Structure 1
Amino acid sequence: MNYRHSFHAGNSADVVKHSLLIALVRALQHKPGALTLIDTHAGCGLYDLGGDEAQRTGESMQGVRRAFADPNPLLDDYRAAVAAVNGAAVNGGAEPNLYPGSPRIMAQLLRPQDALILNEKHPEDVQALRAVMRDTSAAVHNRDAYELWLAMVPPRTARGVVVVDPPYEQTDERDRITATLAAAQRKWAHGVTVIWYPLKDRATHQRWKAQLRRIGIPKLLCVEHWLYDVDQPGLYNGAGLFIVNPPYAFTQTLPPLLVALRAALAPEGHRGDLTGDWLGH
């Protein structure tokens, strides 16, 4: 599966991923201790929704633009993060022209005591990322994502979040994530990890969940967003997140946020399904 993000920026998966990432980081920031935020597959950091690649798919029409049109106040934090890179007020009626990737969103969330570490292996994308993040305190690396993940944990601060958001271009991507997560857990058992994934067919996803169960992580939350009421064989059917060690404050606020996101993003004629459940052993 080829998932070059410039073609998909601002789609429904981004809306869910970034809404939950904002809620997660803010929940962790209820405590004053410093956080280190690490993004292993950072991408370009900022995307032009009017550019050729985004226009070719038009996926933002079913994602960020739906979120901006929805009145639910539970989406205000997400809309504010997108508006911040567009110079527009959240409720000003303007549609966004630029879309912030996870690096720009996390940079907005940083407190003075927090740190942001970004990594991107693609040579052109890392150049773009460095330019986009020049006005922030972020450290930008150009390394293998899985090598960096293991090298950076545990972080220097007592607490942190690792965001793993690969393109799933390689057939062994899930196996590498599983192996690296297991190794990272041995080094940093209490760390928070967020793993994004696309949903194409349920059988592949169920096999991967079985692999992850075998790692034996006590607290592993699985958020699944299935767009359609009936699966579309061979097509992109949605996306989800595995979240390791989510804080209590996050899990308590998650159910109403998932309801709001499902309602805003359901395709025409479909109710969709957006759930969060613990992955049992």
Structure 2
Amino acid sequence: MNYRHSFHAGNSADVVKHSLLIALIRALQLKDSALTLIDTHAGCGLYDLEGEEAGRTGEATQGVLRAFADRNPLLDDYRAAVQAVNVEADALDMPRLYPGSPRIMAELLRPQDVLILNEKHPEDAYALRGAMRGTPAAVHERDAYELWLAMLPTRTPRGVVVVDPPYEQTDERSRITATLAAAHRKWSHGVTVIWYPLKERSTHALWKDKLRQLGIPKLLTVEHWLYDADQPGIYNGAGLFIVNPPYAFTQGLPPLLEALRAALAPEGHRGEITAAWLSE
């Protein structure tokens, strides 16, 4: 699977991922101590929904545009984050620009927080530096898994690592599993968010079993299945693995997940979005 950000900006997976990322960071910021936010696969940082790549797939129509058309107040924080990069548009207008995770995290920074971004693809790294101009973000151009481990433990008391790869390589899941195991040994109290696409439930169950075997005590899995049954050979949804989510985040999760399911369900399908502890 090739999941370069620019082709899929603003799709249903982005809506879920960014809604949950905002809620997670806000929950962590209920405490005053500084956070380090790290994005290992940062992409370009900002995307033109009317550009050639996003326009080729048109996936934003089933993602961010649905979220803007749905007026559920539980999605207000997400809509505000998208609206922040569309400053010339009215608050109810459909956005032309879409912020990637780096821009969303930059909007959430407090003075004491730190933002570290990494993007190995040279063209995307160049675009990322442009998108983050005027923010305090540090931008690296390194192997994502090397950087992940090199930055741990964070210099601030707490931190979040966001891992959002394109899944171009056949060994992507095994590299994530091995690096997560090493990262947890170095930084057992840290928060880690791993995004993944969903194609087949049986294949995904195998990966969950391998992650379960790592023995991480607090590992939450959020799965968003778009269709009521697997659609063979196509993208069926996406999810997040979240290590050490704070209590304030998990307590507020059920109504937010229901709001996302309702806003993003394809016509003729109810869809399903669930959260469950992976720990044995």
| TM, length-normalised to structure 2 | 0.99
Residues 228, 237 of structure 1: 8 Å contact kept = yes
Q: Percent identity?
A: 81
In the alignment, which residue of structure 2 is the partner of 1:265? 264
In the alignment, which residue of structure 2 is the partner of 1:130? 129
Q: Structure 1 stretches of 5 or more lacking a match?
A: none
In the alignment, which residue of structure 2 is the partner of 1:158? 157
In the alignment, which residue of structure 1 is the partner of 2:31? 31
Structure-1 separation of matches of 2:7 and 2:147: 26
Superposed displacement of residue 134, structure 1:
1.2
Superposed displacement of residue 280, structure 1:
2.9
Indicate the RMSD between aligned Cα atoms, in angstroms: 0.8
Amino acid at match of 2:244: N
* Matching of residue 54 in structure 1 with residue 51 in structure 2: no
Structure-2 separation of matches of 1:88 and 1:161: 31
Amino acid at match of 2:204: H
Residues 46, 104 of structure 1: 8 Å contact kept = yes
Superposed displacement of residue 5, structure 1:
1.2
Structure-2 separation of matches of 1:174 and 1:27: 28
Amino acid at match of 1:138: A
Structure-1 separation of matches of 2:246 and 2:74: 19
In the alignment, which residue of structure 1 is the partner of 2:20? 20
Superposed displacement of residue 88, structure 1:
5.1
Q: Secondary structure at the match of 2:252?
A: helix
In the alignment, which residue of structure 2 is the partner of 1:65? 65
Q: Structure 2 stretches of 5 or more lacking a match?
A: none
Residues 216, 279 of structure 2: 8 Å contact kept = no
Residues 88, 94 of structure 1: 8 Å contact kept = no
User: Following superposition, which runs of at least 4 residues in structure 1 exceed 2 angstroms of deviation?
Assistant: none
Structure-1 separation of matches of 2:72 and 2:191: 28
Amino acid at match of 2:164: D
Structure-2 separation of matches of 1:71 and 1:49: 21
Amino acid at match of 1:170: Q
Matches within 5 A, 1:223-234: 223-234=222-233
Structure-2 separation of matches of 1:20 and 1:45: 18
For residues 28-80 of structure 1, what are the alpha-carbon distances to aligned partners after superposition, in whole Å with 9 as ceiling and x for unaligned? 00000000000000000000000011111110000000000001000000000
In the alignment, which residue of structure 2 is the partner of 1:7? 7
In the alignment, which residue of structure 1 is the partner of 2:239? 240
Q: Secondary structure at the match of 2:80?
A: helix
In the alignment, which residue of structure 2 is the partner of 1:180? 179
For residues 171-224 of structure 1, what are the alpha-carbon distances to aligned partners after superposition, in whole Å with 9 as ceiling and x for unaligned? 000000000000000000000000000000111100100000010000000000
Residues 163, 193 of structure 1: 8 Å contact kept = yes
Residues 224, 238 of structure 2: 8 Å contact kept = yes
Q: Pick closer, same or farther for the CA change 1:212–1:191 going to 2, 3 Å.
A: same
Q: Secondary structure at the match of 1:277?
A: strand
Structure-2 separation of matches of 1:149 and 1:247: 21
Matches within 5 A, 1:196-215: 196-215=195-214
Amino acid at match of 1:63: G
Question: Would you say how many aligned residue pairs link Structure 1 and Structure 2?
Answer: 280
| TM, length-normalised to structure 1 | 0.98
